[in-house]
Amino acid sequence: LVRLRARLARSQSGFGKTLLGLLSRDTLDDDAWDEIEDTLIGADMGVAVARQVTEDLRTKVAVLGTRTPEEVRALLKEELVKQIGGDIDRSLKTERHGNKPAVIMVVGVNGTGKTTTCGKLGRVLVGDGRTVVMGAADTFRAAAADQLETWGARVGAKVVRKEEGADPASVAFDAVKQGIDDKVDAVIVDTAGRLHTKTGLMDELGKVKRVVEKQAEVDEVLLVLDATTGQNGMQQARVFAEVVNITGIVLTKLDGTAKGGIVVQVQRELGVPVKLVGLGEGPDDLAPFEPEAFVDAILG
Protein backbone atom coordinates (compact mmCIF):
# COMPACT_ATOMS: atom_id res chain seq x y z
CA LEU A 1 0.00 0.00 0.00
CA VAL A 2 2.77 2.37 0.84
CA ARG A 3 4.37 1.44 -2.44
CA LEU A 4 1.13 2.01 -4.31
CA ARG A 5 0.95 5.47 -2.85
CA ALA A 6 4.52 6.27 -3.65
CA ARG A 7 4.25 5.11 -7.24
CA LEU A 8 0.91 6.65 -7.99
CA ALA A 9 1.85 9.81 -6.24
CA ARG A 10 4.93 10.11 -8.38
CA SER A 11 2.99 9.87 -11.61
CA GLN A 12 -0.29 11.46 -10.64
CA SER A 13 0.25 14.14 -8.05
CA GLY A 14 0.19 16.79 -10.79
CA PHE A 15 -3.46 16.03 -11.36
CA GLY A 16 -4.33 16.21 -7.67
CA LYS A 17 -2.41 19.44 -7.16
CA THR A 18 -4.08 21.10 -10.12
CA LEU A 19 -7.53 20.08 -8.95
CA LEU A 20 -7.00 21.05 -5.33
CA GLY A 21 -5.48 24.33 -6.47
CA LEU A 22 -8.50 25.11 -8.63
CA LEU A 23 -10.94 24.17 -5.89
CA SER A 24 -9.16 26.34 -3.35
CA ARG A 25 -9.58 29.55 -5.33
CA ASP A 26 -11.30 32.41 -3.53
CA THR A 27 -14.06 32.66 -6.07
CA LEU A 28 -15.30 29.70 -7.98
CA ASP A 29 -17.00 31.13 -11.04
CA ASP A 30 -18.23 29.28 -14.12
CA ASP A 31 -14.77 29.44 -15.69
CA ALA A 32 -13.19 27.82 -12.65
CA TRP A 33 -15.74 25.02 -12.71
CA ASP A 34 -15.08 24.50 -16.41
CA GLU A 35 -11.39 24.20 -15.63
CA ILE A 36 -12.13 21.69 -12.90
CA GLU A 37 -14.20 19.65 -15.33
CA ASP A 38 -11.46 19.86 -17.97
CA THR A 39 -8.87 18.64 -15.48
CA LEU A 40 -11.01 15.62 -14.70
CA ILE A 41 -11.52 14.92 -18.41
CA GLY A 42 -7.77 15.30 -18.91
CA ALA A 43 -7.21 12.54 -16.39
CA ASP A 44 -9.33 10.20 -18.54
CA MET A 45 -12.37 10.13 -16.39
CA GLY A 46 -14.62 10.49 -19.37
CA VAL A 47 -16.87 13.44 -20.09
CA ALA A 48 -19.98 12.10 -18.36
CA VAL A 49 -18.16 11.22 -15.15
CA ALA A 50 -16.21 14.49 -15.14
CA ARG A 51 -19.44 16.42 -15.49
CA GLN A 52 -21.14 14.48 -12.72
CA VAL A 53 -18.24 14.90 -10.30
CA THR A 54 -18.05 18.61 -11.09
CA GLU A 55 -21.77 19.15 -10.63
CA ASP A 56 -21.89 17.24 -7.36
CA LEU A 57 -18.90 19.14 -6.04
CA ARG A 58 -20.38 22.45 -7.08
CA THR A 59 -23.57 21.66 -5.19
CA LYS A 60 -21.69 20.59 -2.08
CA VAL A 61 -19.41 23.62 -2.14
CA ALA A 62 -22.44 25.91 -2.49
CA VAL A 63 -24.12 24.27 0.48
CA LEU A 64 -21.00 24.40 2.62
CA GLY A 65 -20.22 28.05 2.01
CA THR A 66 -16.81 28.18 3.63
CA ARG A 67 -14.09 25.99 2.18
CA THR A 68 -10.89 25.21 3.98
CA PRO A 69 -8.30 23.22 2.00
CA GLU A 70 -9.12 20.23 4.21
CA GLU A 71 -12.80 20.52 3.39
CA VAL A 72 -12.10 20.81 -0.30
CA ARG A 73 -9.88 17.76 -0.26
CA ALA A 74 -12.38 15.74 1.76
CA LEU A 75 -15.22 16.65 -0.60
CA LEU A 76 -13.22 15.74 -3.65
CA LYS A 77 -12.07 12.50 -2.12
CA GLU A 78 -15.59 11.54 -1.11
CA GLU A 79 -16.89 12.27 -4.59
CA LEU A 80 -14.16 10.34 -6.39
CA VAL A 81 -14.44 7.33 -4.07
CA LYS A 82 -18.18 7.35 -4.65
CA GLN A 83 -17.72 7.39 -8.42
CA ILE A 84 -15.21 4.55 -8.24
CA GLY A 85 -17.60 2.54 -6.11
CA GLY A 86 -16.02 2.57 -2.69
CA ASP A 87 -17.91 -0.37 -1.25
CA ILE A 88 -18.00 -2.73 -4.21
CA ASP A 89 -16.75 -6.29 -3.64
CA ARG A 90 -13.40 -6.60 -5.38
CA SER A 91 -12.31 -9.95 -4.03
CA LEU A 92 -10.87 -12.51 -6.43
CA LYS A 93 -12.37 -15.99 -6.55
CA THR A 94 -9.31 -18.16 -6.28
CA GLU A 95 -10.51 -20.95 -3.98
CA ARG A 96 -10.71 -24.59 -5.02
CA HIS A 97 -14.23 -25.88 -5.11
CA GLY A 98 -15.00 -29.54 -4.67
CA ASN A 99 -12.12 -31.41 -6.25
CA LYS A 100 -11.59 -28.73 -8.90
CA PRO A 101 -9.16 -25.86 -9.07
CA ALA A 102 -10.34 -22.30 -9.44
CA VAL A 103 -9.95 -21.19 -13.05
CA ILE A 104 -8.95 -17.65 -13.90
CA MET A 105 -8.97 -16.55 -17.54
CA VAL A 106 -6.91 -13.50 -18.36
CA VAL A 107 -8.05 -11.65 -21.48
CA GLY A 108 -7.17 -8.40 -23.22
CA VAL A 109 -5.51 -6.87 -26.24
CA ASN A 110 -1.89 -7.82 -26.90
CA GLY A 111 0.60 -5.52 -25.30
CA THR A 112 -1.63 -4.52 -22.41
CA GLY A 113 0.32 -6.73 -19.99
CA LYS A 114 -1.70 -9.95 -20.01
CA THR A 115 1.16 -12.41 -19.76
CA THR A 116 2.95 -10.31 -17.17
CA THR A 117 -0.26 -10.14 -15.15
CA CYS A 118 -0.62 -13.94 -15.28
CA GLY A 119 2.91 -14.24 -13.90
CA LYS A 120 2.36 -11.67 -11.17
CA LEU A 121 -0.97 -13.24 -10.22
CA GLY A 122 0.75 -16.62 -10.02
CA ARG A 123 3.25 -15.05 -7.68
CA VAL A 124 0.50 -13.64 -5.43
CA LEU A 125 -1.25 -17.02 -5.20
CA VAL A 126 1.93 -19.03 -4.66
CA GLY A 127 2.94 -16.46 -2.05
CA ASP A 128 -0.35 -17.21 -0.30
CA GLY A 129 0.62 -20.86 -0.16
CA ARG A 130 -1.48 -22.01 -3.13
CA THR A 131 -0.43 -24.27 -5.95
CA VAL A 132 -0.86 -22.97 -9.48
CA VAL A 133 -0.80 -24.20 -13.08
CA MET A 134 -0.61 -21.65 -15.88
CA GLY A 135 -1.82 -22.28 -19.42
CA ALA A 136 -0.14 -20.53 -22.35
CA ALA A 137 -3.22 -20.22 -24.55
CA ASP A 138 -1.84 -17.13 -26.24
CA THR A 139 -0.51 -19.24 -29.09
CA PHE A 140 -0.68 -16.35 -31.50
CA ARG A 141 2.10 -14.16 -30.17
CA ALA A 142 5.35 -16.00 -30.77
CA ALA A 143 7.11 -15.18 -27.50
CA ALA A 144 4.09 -15.40 -25.20
CA ALA A 145 4.54 -19.07 -24.21
CA ASP A 146 8.28 -18.62 -23.57
CA GLN A 147 7.52 -15.54 -21.52
CA LEU A 148 4.91 -17.38 -19.46
CA GLU A 149 7.30 -20.27 -18.96
CA THR A 150 9.91 -17.88 -17.59
CA TRP A 151 7.29 -16.50 -15.21
CA GLY A 152 6.32 -20.03 -14.18
CA ALA A 153 9.90 -20.85 -13.27
CA ARG A 154 10.23 -17.56 -11.46
CA VAL A 155 7.11 -17.89 -9.31
CA GLY A 156 7.00 -21.67 -8.93
CA ALA A 157 4.08 -22.65 -11.16
CA LYS A 158 3.88 -25.38 -13.79
CA VAL A 159 3.23 -24.04 -17.29
CA VAL A 160 1.27 -25.97 -19.92
CA ARG A 161 2.08 -24.96 -23.48
CA LYS A 162 1.94 -26.20 -27.06
CA GLU A 163 3.57 -25.22 -30.30
CA GLU A 164 3.07 -21.75 -31.73
CA GLY A 165 -0.20 -21.44 -33.62
CA ALA A 166 -1.82 -24.35 -31.73
CA ASP A 167 -5.51 -24.10 -30.95
CA PRO A 168 -5.79 -21.86 -27.86
CA ALA A 169 -8.78 -23.83 -26.62
CA SER A 170 -6.82 -27.07 -26.64
CA VAL A 171 -4.05 -25.49 -24.57
CA ALA A 172 -6.61 -24.17 -22.12
CA PHE A 173 -8.21 -27.61 -21.94
CA ASP A 174 -4.87 -29.29 -21.26
CA ALA A 175 -3.93 -26.71 -18.64
CA VAL A 176 -7.14 -27.26 -16.71
CA LYS A 177 -6.73 -31.04 -17.02
CA GLN A 178 -3.20 -30.72 -15.66
CA GLY A 179 -4.52 -28.60 -12.82
CA ILE A 180 -7.12 -31.22 -11.95
CA ASP A 181 -4.60 -34.08 -12.19
CA ASP A 182 -2.07 -32.20 -10.06
CA LYS A 183 -4.82 -31.18 -7.61
CA VAL A 184 -3.65 -27.59 -7.66
CA ASP A 185 -5.62 -24.71 -6.19
CA ALA A 186 -5.83 -22.52 -9.25
CA VAL A 187 -5.31 -22.55 -13.01
CA ILE A 188 -4.48 -19.26 -14.72
CA VAL A 189 -5.14 -19.20 -18.47
CA ASP A 190 -3.34 -16.61 -20.59
CA THR A 191 -5.29 -15.96 -23.80
CA ALA A 192 -4.58 -14.36 -27.17
CA GLY A 193 -5.76 -10.80 -27.64
CA ARG A 194 -6.16 -10.40 -31.33
CA LEU A 195 -8.72 -7.74 -31.84
CA HIS A 196 -8.99 -8.21 -35.60
CA THR A 197 -12.75 -8.58 -35.65
CA LYS A 198 -15.29 -8.76 -32.90
CA THR A 199 -16.67 -12.06 -34.17
CA GLY A 200 -13.19 -13.57 -34.38
CA LEU A 201 -12.49 -12.57 -30.81
CA MET A 202 -15.87 -13.79 -29.67
CA ASP A 203 -15.39 -17.14 -31.38
CA GLU A 204 -11.95 -17.64 -29.90
CA LEU A 205 -12.63 -16.55 -26.33
CA GLY A 206 -16.00 -18.24 -26.36
CA LYS A 207 -14.40 -21.49 -27.45
CA VAL A 208 -11.67 -21.28 -24.82
CA LYS A 209 -14.29 -20.72 -22.13
CA ARG A 210 -16.60 -23.49 -23.33
CA VAL A 211 -13.76 -25.97 -23.50
CA VAL A 212 -12.57 -25.07 -20.00
CA GLU A 213 -16.11 -25.41 -18.71
CA LYS A 214 -16.21 -29.02 -19.82
CA GLN A 215 -13.95 -29.75 -16.88
CA ALA A 216 -14.25 -26.96 -14.35
CA GLU A 217 -16.02 -23.71 -13.64
CA VAL A 218 -14.47 -20.47 -14.85
CA ASP A 219 -14.32 -18.39 -11.67
CA GLU A 220 -12.84 -15.20 -13.00
CA VAL A 221 -12.48 -13.61 -16.42
CA LEU A 222 -10.08 -10.75 -15.84
CA LEU A 223 -9.78 -8.10 -18.53
CA VAL A 224 -6.37 -6.48 -18.67
CA LEU A 225 -6.37 -2.82 -19.66
CA ASP A 226 -3.33 -0.61 -20.12
CA ALA A 227 -4.01 2.59 -18.16
CA THR A 228 -1.70 4.59 -20.43
CA THR A 229 -3.98 4.03 -23.43
CA GLY A 230 -6.79 6.09 -21.94
CA GLN A 231 -9.91 6.23 -24.07
CA ASN A 232 -8.54 3.55 -26.35
CA GLY A 233 -8.52 1.21 -23.37
CA MET A 234 -12.09 2.16 -22.68
CA GLN A 235 -13.04 1.19 -26.23
CA GLN A 236 -11.29 -2.19 -25.81
CA ALA A 237 -13.19 -2.75 -22.59
CA ARG A 238 -16.49 -2.16 -24.37
CA VAL A 239 -15.66 -4.72 -27.06
CA PHE A 240 -14.50 -7.38 -24.60
CA ALA A 241 -17.50 -6.80 -22.35
CA GLU A 242 -19.72 -7.57 -25.33
CA VAL A 243 -18.01 -10.83 -26.20
CA VAL A 244 -17.30 -12.33 -22.79
CA ASN A 245 -18.67 -12.03 -19.28
CA ILE A 246 -15.90 -10.10 -17.55
CA THR A 247 -15.73 -10.45 -13.77
CA GLY A 248 -13.00 -7.93 -13.08
CA ILE A 249 -10.51 -5.49 -14.55
CA VAL A 250 -6.76 -5.44 -14.08
CA LEU A 251 -5.48 -1.96 -14.81
CA THR A 252 -1.81 -2.19 -15.72
CA LYS A 253 0.97 0.37 -16.07
CA LEU A 254 -0.53 2.72 -13.53
CA ASP A 255 3.07 3.44 -12.59
CA GLY A 256 3.55 5.17 -15.93
CA THR A 257 0.57 7.43 -16.31
CA ALA A 258 -1.13 10.44 -14.86
CA LYS A 259 -4.38 9.20 -16.30
CA GLY A 260 -5.70 6.70 -13.81
CA GLY A 261 -9.12 8.25 -14.25
CA ILE A 262 -10.05 5.40 -16.54
CA VAL A 263 -10.67 3.47 -13.31
CA VAL A 264 -13.68 5.66 -12.67
CA GLN A 265 -14.98 5.34 -16.20
CA VAL A 266 -14.63 1.57 -16.46
CA GLN A 267 -16.40 1.07 -13.21
CA ARG A 268 -19.25 3.33 -14.04
CA GLU A 269 -19.83 2.44 -17.65
CA LEU A 270 -19.34 -1.31 -17.54
CA GLY A 271 -20.25 -1.99 -13.94
CA VAL A 272 -17.22 -4.26 -13.70
CA PRO A 273 -14.96 -3.65 -10.71
CA VAL A 274 -11.29 -2.91 -11.07
CA LYS A 275 -9.85 -5.68 -8.91
CA LEU A 276 -6.11 -5.40 -9.39
CA VAL A 277 -3.61 -2.81 -10.53
CA GLY A 278 -0.24 -3.28 -12.19
CA LEU A 279 2.45 -0.98 -10.84
CA GLY A 280 5.52 -2.17 -12.69
CA GLU A 281 7.15 -5.04 -14.54
CA GLY A 282 8.44 -6.97 -11.54
CA PRO A 283 6.88 -10.03 -9.88
CA ASP A 284 5.61 -8.09 -6.88
CA ASP A 285 4.13 -5.23 -8.85
CA LEU A 286 0.51 -6.34 -8.68
CA ALA A 287 -1.72 -4.93 -5.96
CA PRO A 288 -5.37 -5.16 -4.99
CA PHE A 289 -7.25 -2.09 -6.05
CA GLU A 290 -8.30 -0.01 -3.06
CA PRO A 291 -10.43 3.02 -3.97
CA GLU A 292 -9.61 5.11 -0.88
CA ALA A 293 -5.89 4.53 -1.18
CA PHE A 294 -6.08 5.17 -4.91
CA VAL A 295 -7.84 8.49 -4.48
CA ASP A 296 -5.46 9.50 -1.68
CA ALA A 297 -2.59 8.69 -4.00
CA ILE A 298 -3.90 10.72 -6.92
CA LEU A 299 -4.77 13.70 -4.75
CA GLY A 300 -1.25 13.65 -3.33
Going by the annotation, the residues of the binding site for GTP are 108-115, 190-194, 252-255
Residues touching ligand GDP: how many (CB under 6 A)? 21
Per-residue binding letters, 236-255, with ligand GDP (x by CB under 6 A): ----------------xx-x
**Binding piece for ligand GDP, criterion CB under 6 A, among 41-49, 128-136, 139-147, 149-157:** 139-147
Q: With binding defined as CB under 6 A, does residue 123 bind ligand GDP?
A: no
Angle made by CA atoms 123, 128, 129, in degrees to the nearest 5: 100
Q: With binding defined as CB under 6 A, does residue 282 bind ligand GDP?
A: no
Q: How far apart are CA 85 and CA 92, in angstroms?
A: 16
**Number of residue whose CB is nearest ligand GDP:** 278
Beta carbons within 10 angstroms of residue 207's beta carbon? 15
Q: With binding defined as CB under 6 A, does residue 152 bind ligand GDP?
A: no
Picking from 185, 200, 192, the residue whose alpha carbon sits closest to that of residue 148 is 192
Q: Which of positions 160-219 make contact with ligand GDP (CB under 6 A)?
A: 193
Q: With binding defined as CB under 6 A, does residue 233 bind ligand GDP?
A: no
Q: Which C-beta is closer to ligand GDP: that of 174 or that of 255?
A: 255
CB of 250 to ligand GDP, least distance (A): 9
Spatial contact of 274 and 289, defined as CB atoms under 8 Å apart: yes
Q: Which of 14, 256, 283, 288 binds ligand GDP (CB under 6 A)?
A: 256
Q: Which C-beta is closer to ligand GDP: that of 98 or that of 165?
A: 165
Edge-to-edge strand list for the sheet holding 220-226? 158-160, 132-137, 186-191, 102-107, 220-226, 248-252, 274-278, 286-288
Q: With binding defined as CB under 6 A, does residue 95 bind ligand GDP?
A: no
Question: At a CB cut-off of 8 Å and minimum separation 6, what does 136 contact?
Answer: 144, 145, 148, 149, 159, 160, 161, 162, 171, 175, 190
Q: Which of 111, 127, 200, 271 binds ligand GDP (CB under 6 A)?
A: 111
Q: How far apart are CA 298 and CA 8, in angstroms?
A: 6
**Binding positions for ligand GDP, rule: CB under 6 A:** 108, 110-116, 141, 144, 147, 193, 252-253, 255-256, 278-281, 285
